[in-house]
Amino acid sequence: MADQEHSTQPQTNGTEQEQQKEPKQRNDQENDKEDEYTEDFIELVNLAVKFKEEGNAHYKQRNLQEAFNSYIEVIKINDHVKSKEELLNNVNKEDLNNLYDTVVAAANNISMVFIDVDEYQKAFNFAHFANGVKQNAKSFYLQGKILKECNQPERAILYFNKVLELQPSSKDAEKMIEECQELMEHEKLLRGMNLLRFQERQEDEMLQKAIEESKRVYDEEMKKRVQEEELKKKADEEQDLIRQHFLEEQKKKQEEEEKKRKEEEENAEEEDLEIELDDDDHHAEEKDDHEEIDDDEVSLTESEIALLEEEERVAKEQELEEEEQ
C-alpha cells in the first residue's frame, strides 16, 4: 500500500513540474521571437541609415538623380515596415523613432532635390509626407520656402510661424518671414500699379473706341455725302439732258416755224404778185375803158382820183390781212 502511494506520488509531482515549465517555455519562445523581430528591425533601420548617408554623399556631389535613388530606398523600407503590423508591435519605441527620423530626413532631402530642379509641387508633397511621418521644423521650413518661391508669401508665413513654434530661435525662419512681408508689400504696390495701368488701359481703350466711333461716323457721313453728291450730279445731268433735249426741240420747232413762215411769206408774195398782176391787168382794162370815154364826158378831178386810189390800196391791204389770217 505504501509502495503504491509512493509510486503514485512522483507521477503527480512530474505533471506539476511540466505545467510549471510550459509558461516559462512560452515566455522564452516569445522573448526569442521578440529578439528576432528586434534584430530584423534594427537591420532595416541600419539599412535605411546607410541609404540616407549614400544619398547625402551623392547630393553633396550634385548627383541629384543618384541622391534621389538612394533616398527613395529609405521610403521603401518605411513602407515595408508599415505593412508588417506584427513587426511594429514587437519593437521598442526608441528603435521605431530612429527609423522615423531617418525617413523624415530622407523625405526632406528628396524635397530639396526637387527644389533644385524647380519641381515645386513634388518638393512640397515630400515635405508634407515627412511632416506626416513626424512633425519637424525642417519640413515646415521647406514648405514655406516652396510657397515663397511660388509667389505665395501669405501662405509661406504660416509655415515659417510653425517653424518658430518648434524652434523659437530660428533666425532663418524669421528672415524668411521678413522677406515674405516685403514681397507682400511689393505685391501690394504692384497690384496698385497694375490697377492704375489697368484703369489707364481702360481709358485708352475707351478713348480708342471713341476715336474709332468718330471715324466710323465721319466715314459714314462722308460716304453718305458722296452718295448724295453722286445722286445730285446724276440728277443735274438728267436735268441738263432734259433741258438740252427741250432746247433742241424748241430750236427744231422754231426752225420748222421759221421755215413754215418763210414758206407762207413766199406763198403770200407769190399771191401778191399774182394779185398785182391781176390788178395790173384790171387797171389796164380800166385804162382802156377810160380811153374809150368820149371827150365830152366830165373828167375826174385830182382829188377824186386820189380817193379812188386810196380805196383800192385799203381794199388790197384787207385782202392780204384776210389771207394771212
C-alpha cell at 132: 506626416
Each residue's pLDDT tens digit, 40-60? 889 999 999 999 999 999 999
Rounded average pLDDT over 276-290: 62
How far apart are alpha carbons 308 and 325 in whole angstroms? 26
How far apart are alpha carbons 50 and 70 in whole angstroms? 9
CA distances in angstroms from 19 to 24, 31, 303, listed in the order given: 9, 19, 208
Each residue's pLDDT tens digit, 91-117? 888 888 999 999 999 999 999 999 999
Query: Cβ distance 288 to 280 under 8 Å?
Result: no
Each residue's pLDDT tens digit, 202-257? 777 877 887 888 788 888 888 888 888 888 888 888 888 888 888 888 888 888 88
Give the pLDDT score at 19.
Answer: 53
How far apart are alpha carbons 108 and 142 in whole angstroms? 8
Q: Flag whether pLDDT at 30 surpasses 80.
A: no
Half-sphere exposure of 99 (CA within 13 A, CB side): 24
Q: Is 111 helix (H, G, I), strand (E, B) or coil?
A: helix
Contacts 24+ apart (CB under 8 A), 138-141: 138/104, 138/108, 139/104, 139/107, 139/108, 139/111, 140/166, 141/170, 141/172, 141/173, 141/176
Share of the chain above pLDDT 90, in %: 39
Give the pLDDT score at 36.
Answer: 64
Query: What pTM does this model have?
Result: 0.52
